Structures are given as C-alpha cells and as structure tokens.
Amino acid sequence: MKLIFLGPPGAGKGTQAQRIEDAFDIRQLSTGDMLRAAVAAETEIGKQAKDIMARGDLVPDEVVVGIISDRIEEDDCKNGFILDGFPRNVAQAEALDAMLLEKGIALDGVVELAVDPEVLIGRILKRAEESADGPREDDTEEALQHRLRVYEEQTAPVAEFYASKGILKTLDGMQEMDEVTQQIHAVLKEI
C-alpha cells in the first residue's frame, strides 16, 4: 500500500503513520526525520537544510524530491510506504506524480488529518516541553507560527490537488488518538 499522510505540524501524522507502518508492514518515510538526520550527520544536504529548517521554511524541492525518489526504491519499501511530510507544496506533488509514473508505482490514497490552527500551537509547545531529546530548533513560538503560515499557503493546496483526483480522505484529527487510528483503518479498508 502506497499512501500519503497530510496535515499541519502537530496534527499527529507521525504517530499515526508509525501505527499504520506496524500494522501493514509498510515504511513510514518522514522527510522531516530524514532531513534532521542529515543535519545531525552534517552531510552536504544537512548543511544546506539546517538554517532553513530552523526558521520553519521549506528546503528546496529538488532536495526532498531526490531523497524520496531514492528512498522508495529501497527493498524495505517493496510492500509499500507512507509519505509523511512530503509533498509539501504543489510543485512537489507534481514531481511525485511524474516520479511514480516513471517508476510504475500507483498511489493508493491520501489521508488528511484536519486540526484547527489554535489547537496546534498548544500541542507542539507541549510536545517540545515533554521531548526527551529536548525541543527541536524549530519548535520556538516564532518558527512555529511561521511553519503554520507556510502550511496554510503552500501545503493546504496539496490537499486540493489530491481532492481533485478523487483520492483524498479527510479525517478529524482532533479526536482521541485511538479513534483517529480506527478511522484510518476504516478508510484503508475501502481502498
């Protein structure tokens, strides 16, 4: 199964993607996690991405498109994958379409977790406080506000992009976590 999880920062995509990863034996591919690993390892991509990520802007499309293109070819993605944090703008969504066509891979569905903006800030600041590794560099109130703005301007249109293809399923991400998981399972049964 090949899926995309869409939703604003703090919507719970990562948590839900991990649960679905385990249940279906498919790989969660989080571009945010991959970029943070590159920053920590001080690779060329990491050096390029560090400051952009810290202020909550998007790293260049060709960087993330390249990362995903390589990653989905790996053996552990044979059974499927969940793209988490990608595509983040319409150009990336178009690049993904072209890439999948070329590789002969069909997308099964796009799951969007909808959460009101005012709920998100509270969730993320709480997550930052509770994180064992300390807060992320982009979990300051300022960077967070910027990430939410970038989401509204650039990522929200990605949902429209998939809605117009008829493969978008939008769920209420403000319910209890287990309830959201159940609804995702219900949606996946249908596809």
Structure tokens at 105: 């891979």
Q: Where are the alpha helices (DSSP H) in 41-176?
A: 44-55, 61-71, 90-103, 117-130, 141-150, 156-163
Phi first, then psi, for residue 162 (nearest 5°) are -80, -30
Using CA atoms of 55, 95, 115, 32 in order, give the dihedral in degrees to the nearest 10.
-40
Checking 91-96 for CB contacts under 8 A at 24+ apart, the result is 91/61, 92/61, 92/64, 92/65, 92/158, 93/158, 93/161, 93/162, 95/61, 95/65, 96/65, 96/68
Using the rule CB under 6 A, is 9 a contact of ligand ADP?
yes
> Nearer Cβ to ligand ADP, position 56 or 173?
56
Q: Should residue 168 be labelled a site residue for ligand ADP when binding is judged by CB under 6 A?
A: no
Binding of residue 32 to ligand ADP (CB under 6 A): yes
- Interface with ligand ADP includes 56 (CB under 6 A)? yes
Distance CA 56, CA 52 (A): 6
The CB-of-151 to ligand ADP minimum distance in angstroms stands at: 7
Contacting ligand ADP (CB under 6 A), which of 20, 38, 58, 115? 58
Q: Based on the shown chain and the rule CB under 6 A, indicate whether residue 28 belongs to the binding site for ligand ADP.
A: no
Task: Using CB under 6 A, pick the residue from 29, 31, 115, 162 that binds ligand ADP.
Answer: 31
Instruction: Return the range that interacts with ligand ADP (CB under 6 A); candidates 49-57, 100-108, 158-166, 175-183.
Output: 49-57
Residue selected from 3, 6, 26, 35 as contacting ligand ADP according to rule CB under 6 A: 35
Please indicate whether residue 71 is annotated as part of the active site. no
Closest to 7 measured CA to CA, from 62, 84, 101, 119: 84
- Whether 88 is a known active-site residue: answer yes
Annotated catalytic residue, options 50, 127, 169, 189: 127
Residue with smaller CB distance to ligand ADP, 53 or 171: 53
What residues are labeled active site?
Answer: 13, 88, 127, 136, 147
